[in-house]
Amino acid sequence: MALLTLNFESVYLNQSQNISVILPDRPDDKTAEEFYSSSGKYKVLWLLHGTYGAGNEWIRRTNVELYASRRNMIVVMPDGLNSDFVSWPDFGMGYDFPNYLTKELMPLIYNWLPASDKREDNFIAGLSMGGQGATQLGFTYPDRFARIGAFSYPLINYHQHPDGRVFGDGYPEYDARFWRQVANQGGMEAFMKSPYNTWDTFFNCEDPESLPKIHFYIGMEDFFWPVHCEMKEELKKRGREDVPITEYEGLHHEWEVWDRAVKAFIDECDGETMGAGFRY
């Protein structure tokens, strides 16, 4: 595969921005002229990092380049700070990730690179905060993505956890973060109507087929596990066992999970699925 690093000044993030991009490499049976002169378009995976992370962590900590090369898939890995991949108008000069993605980065990738802009060829996934971002963005722009991969991030029932303390005791930094998220949205009522509330977006959707297909991956020792089980119970109660869930025994909130998950998700996006339903 070819690895491209872009750096440019973003209009919507009001800062210089880094993006790592994996591009398909020339196969042995094609000459350089044949391959690089081709007008073909490739499927695209938009891959988001977690809290404290950066886009290039996927290159450093997983074999995503190998997995994508087997499928001739472009992988775009943007940086998103600790933004939850939402808009933060009061941060610095303003930070608007959703518009950055859809109005700036996507046009750049589609027009500068051999990337397909068809919905059926575009997928979004991420780990932890990136799983949250992928779910939010996938649900907000369902016409852009065919599938969502949520790695170590379940849908959260904020009606049951109105204080945001989904992890229980011992995580004060995440409790404080939750209230900053609420304040950024303009209060709890606005928060519940915002993209953060993916629980309501998913379970209250009158036309579930209008949303991208979503696949959840999680380690069974993850601190998100209790919340994940709440989501799984709700899926069963509503007869949504068609939603695929992959659970990894003995694994925590860790890169071994995300390496396995990104391989499985890339294979699934290329049409090689493991079958619908719950998987263990």
pLDDT tens digit sequence for 200-211: 999 999 999 999
Q: What is the pLDDT of residues 225-239, one digit of tens each?
A: 999 999 999 999 999
Q: Distance of CA 238 to CAs 28, 149, 202, 228, 249, Å?
A: 50, 21, 12, 15, 26
* pLDDT cut 70: percent of the chain above it: 97
pLDDT tops 50 at residue 280:
no
* pLDDT cut 90: percent of the chain above it: 85
pLDDT tops 50 at residue 277:
no
Tell me yes or no: is domain 2-153+213-226+236-279 CATH 3.40.50.1820. yes
Answer whether 46's CB lies under 8 Å from 136's CB.
Answer: no
Alpha helices, H only, the chain: 32-36, 57-61, 64-71, 97-99, 106-112, 129-140, 172-185, 188-192, 198-203, 225-237, 255-269
Answer whether 91's CB lies under 8 Å from 13's CB.
Answer: no
- The rounded distance, in Å, linking the Cα atoms of 45 and 266 is 8
pLDDT at res. 258: 98
- The rounded distance, in Å, linking the Cα atoms of 189 and 136 is 17
Answer whether 48's CB lies under 8 Å from 78's CB.
Answer: yes
pLDDT at res. 235: 97
Q: What is the pLDDT of residues 153-187, one digit of tens each?
A: 999 999 999 888 887 777 888 889 999 999 999 99
Answer whether 82's CB lies under 8 Å from 41's CB.
Answer: no
Among the residue ranges 204-213, 217-226, 266-275, the one predicted with the least confidence is 266-275
DSSP state of 75: E
Average pLDDT over the chain reads 93
pLDDT at res. 168: 72
Q: Distance of CA 234 to CAs 1, 68, 220, 228, 278, Å?
A: 41, 33, 18, 10, 13
Whole-model pTM: value is: 0.94
How many Cβ atoms sit within 10 Å of the Cβ of residue 191? 21
The mean pLDDT value for 61-70 works out to 96
CA angle 279-218-177, nearest 5°?
150
pLDDT tops 80 at residue 61:
yes
Extract the tokens encoding 232: 């799984």
Q: What is the pLDDT of residues 93-111, one digit of tens each?
A: 999 999 999 999 999 999 9
pLDDT at res. 275: 41
Which has more confidence, 147 or 275?
A: 147
CA angle 272-277-280, nearest 5°?
90
Which has more confidence, 42 or 171?
A: 42
pLDDT at res. 163: 84
How many Cβ atoms sit within 10 Å of the Cβ of residue 224? 20
pLDDT tops 60 at residue 138:
yes
pLDDT tops 80 at residue 272:
no
pLDDT at res. 172: 84
- The rounded distance, in Å, linking the Cα atoms of 241 and 74 is 31
How many Cβ atoms sit within 10 Å of the Cβ of residue 159? 10
Amino acid (1-letter code) at residue 109: I
**How many CA atoms are closer than 13 Å to the CA of 120, on its beta-carbon side?**
1
